[in-house]
Structure 1
């Protein structure tokens, strides 16, 4: 029986990172999102290993057994992609396929953009690649969506940090199993005078893909270190825009796959779906997006069988 093992390894970025891994063979890096950890890939690690791949899911910078610095500016996309690609030497690999969900997807897309020589293929779950826009993201969000948009709300030092850390179990039960309340335009806005968790209706029962043990695992991982370092990823949105100026209009060249949940709020609005039509200008080797029916945002946890099948089909089709 294939088992998942754990260890600490050093990235060439200088960060000691906790990884969960299984199997041997071509390297596949699995990058989690917010607010998750390596554990979100529990269903993929074994499946990929049993198909002949070395599957590795790190706790990314600021998370779980990896941790990270306190300084906000140490959580830019350049730091995050540097951490990930910096794992290759310690894992004995010259190249890797990089797979990311939620916030892990921008890290995966950025890694493929910056170092196509190291990335054999790239897969994004939930979040498509987006071109660098005409202005910093927070400026754009404030103009289009207002100060109650949740990513703008996250900019307030200590506010969401304290709310999410107050009861990590309730936080994860609410975020993973709750139903988001949206504006009439389908935008996730924090209700005026309330917190991020007030965006969700409280679940009475857990969905069939999520157990009490899963919630306990996530809650335990965040009880010790809280949510500030993970939230710092959001606090670098404008910094990322400035730092990526040299790659303005650059293309993501490795073979690519995009997996989307039919009911995922990230791509549920008309503007996001319209943007998908132009993705091949940004990523010319991107396959037709794969839509998973009856699936929300937590893609690889909600539909593990379908995600595993899609990943293996993509991996097996890559040239050596």
Structure 2
């Protein structure tokens, strides 16, 4: 190793100790000792996506028609912590996440709540069965969550989600209020399906850093191949922080995602320990990125919208906390929530803002955890600390 590289490694190690502090999380130990798998029914769909000429701002119209459905099974891996606690939090990761990205929240809440922390289908050891582009709707993922809760013997949860996980939790609150007592979403607001379907390419016309979603949608094989070339480098690019500037073209290209970095070194993830980063890389090496990009497929997005839209019940009646970062590189989510009129559909909504980019629960975990605890106390969903804390030895 050259001197400059060694110097950077030493500086990163010192900085990690300063930033992470006493944070010591062993994902492999949790996986080995708390990991479980549920066999869940899933719907395998095939169909046709059509694009027709539109009008005005909508130059094209997308519509997915399901031609065949069959029931298959999938294996969903989850971590089960403190199973004797009175109340349960379901923690749902986003992209490109794994269960272990909730480390700071696991450490914070593990003695007061039962924690069910899954890998979404297609991530890590959770399998993806069927046509990925059309068999991974928000409703499919809610069904997976309901399946693992049944497997764990849990009747009702507080659903806490990040990124796509927040959308899963909002949908779970909307469509399955029987198993969802409250919802926490970060950093993305509720996107009600009351209006017309809007494809990813339309969003990208106005929000340039949504263009990577078009790349993931229209060229998923090419995108997966690029990301799989160096999984560690890919993860480091997306686990960004306000403390580190990024290339101006990052997330703005329709034909590449990592191209703007060139050959520039991408430093380790600043809010993960080296062991946590290694584990995250190992988990993505199991299936690669291809089986995770279904989240961005127009086929799945259209079906998610259509089912919710046709049902017509867009209101989430449970208590909801949405936590925004001070400066998400991609977009101002508070502004998006205003445009979408998200609060109209959530009568019991609390919003908070904490320092960070797209992952404030990892960048500013103390602030995030404090906000969540305060909100829990306010709406009456605190865990079992009133009866005495149960200490988890991990």
Fold shared by both chains (TM-score > 0.5):
yes
> 1:18: how far off?
1.0
> 1:180: how far off?
4.3
CA contact 1:120–1:254 (8 Å) conserved in 2: yes
Task: Give the 3-state SS of the residue equivalent to 1:15 in structure 2.
Answer: strand
| Counterpart for residue 159 of structure 1 | 222
Supply the distance in 1 between the matched residues of 2:114 and 2:40 (Cα, whole angstroms).
17
TM-score, with structure 2 as normaliser: 0.71
Which stretch of the first structure deviates more once superposed, 57-66 or 126-135? 126-135
CA contact 2:169–2:183 (8 Å) conserved in 1: yes
Task: Give the 3-state SS of the residue equivalent to 1:69 in structure 2.
Answer: coil
1:36 equivalenced with 2:97 (yes/no): yes
| Counterpart for residue 292 of structure 1 | 354
Residue in structure 2 matching 1:8, options 37, 42, 48: 37
Supply the distance in 1 between the matched residues of 2:317 and 2:38 (Cα, whole angstroms).
29
Residue in structure 2 matching 1:21, options 64, 80, 83: 80
Supply the distance in 1 between the matched residues of 2:201 and 2:235 (Cα, whole angstroms).
29
Supply the distance in 2 between the matched residues of 1:306 and 1:60 (Cα, whole angstroms).
26
CA contact 2:269–2:277 (8 Å) conserved in 1: no
Residue in structure 2 matching 1:71, options 120, 131, 134: 131
CA contact 2:189–2:334 (8 Å) conserved in 1: no
| Counterpart for residue 178 of structure 2 | 117
Supply the distance in 2 between the matched residues of 1:273 and 1:319 (Cα, whole angstroms).
25
Task: Give the 3-state SS of the residue equivalent to 1:131 in structure 2.
Answer: coil
| Counterpart for residue 345 of structure 2 | 282
Q: 1:314 to 1:12 in 2, by over 3 A?
A: farther
Q: 1:171 to 1:244 in 2, by over 3 A?
A: same
Q: 1:319 to 1:142 in 2, by over 3 A?
A: closer
Give the structure with higher Rg (CA): 2
Task: Give the 3-state SS of the residue equivalent to 2:152 in structure 1.
Answer: coil
Q: 1:227 to 1:113 in 2, by over 3 A?
A: same
Supply the distance in 2 between the matched residues of 1:252 and 1:234 (Cα, whole angstroms).
24
> 1:213: how far off?
2.5
1:85 equivalenced with 2:140 (yes/no): no
CA offset digits 1:261-299 (Å, max 9, x no partner):
1111354278526437x3320211111x11012x11112
Supply the distance in 2 between the matched residues of 1:64 and 1:269 (Cα, whole angstroms).
29
> 1:207: how far off?
5.9
1:255 equivalenced with 2:319 (yes/no): yes
CA contact 1:6–1:19 (8 Å) conserved in 2: yes
CA offset digits 1:223-250 (Å, max 9, x no partner):
1211111101111222322232224462
Task: Give the 3-state SS of the residue equivalent to 2:148 in structure 1.
Answer: coil
- Could you say which structure has the higher strand fraction? 2
Residue in structure 1 matching 2:113, options 45, 53, 63: 53
CA offset digits 1:153-180 (Å, max 9, x no partner):
1111301110001110111122214644
Q: 1:297 to 1:269 in 2, by over 3 A?
A: closer
> 1:188: how far off?
4.1
Supply the distance in 1 between the matched residues of 2:167 and 2:152 (Cα, whole angstroms).
22
Q: 1:28 to 1:12 in 2, by over 3 A?
A: farther
CA contact 2:88–2:114 (8 Å) conserved in 1: yes
| Counterpart for residue 302 of structure 2 | 238
1:216 equivalenced with 2:278 (yes/no): yes
